[in-house]
Amino acid sequence: MDLNIEDLTLKQLREISKLAGLGLHATKPETTPLPFKVGDAVLIRTVTMIDLGRVVSIGRDFIVLEDGGWVADTGRFSAMLATGTLNEFERIESWFLVGRGAICDVFPWKHALPKATK
């Protein structure tokens, strides 16, 4: 059976659209708000490194941080989160980006951000 789109009625087009999840009947994908916001200090583990800083902006592909840097050595991870003590830290004196596609997890940082490389 051949189907000619020119022969379809508006009702049939709406039904096809509904079945395909398109058009007026489409629902927006669910979005889950992030548990942090601009101004929060966060520790972000990515697939290759750990970044620490204050969130400046949150984009579709990147999170912009400032007032922070790269954490080279956390020591015991749970102790570091509890005390804010880092074994090695390299301060960055500008803003920097973290690619959202590389993020493994994000933790709130409840301590003062380090001001010097250590």
72 touches 89 (CB < 8 A): yes
At 66-88, the pLDDT tens digits run 999 999 999 999 999 999 999 99
What would the pLDDT profile of 35-46 be if each residue is shown by its tens digit?
999 999 999 999
Residue closest to 53 by CA, chosen among 73, 36, 33: 36
Phi-psi region of 66 (alpha: psi -120 to 50; beta: other; left: phi over 0): beta
Which domains are seen in the chain, by residue range?
41-108 (2.30.30)
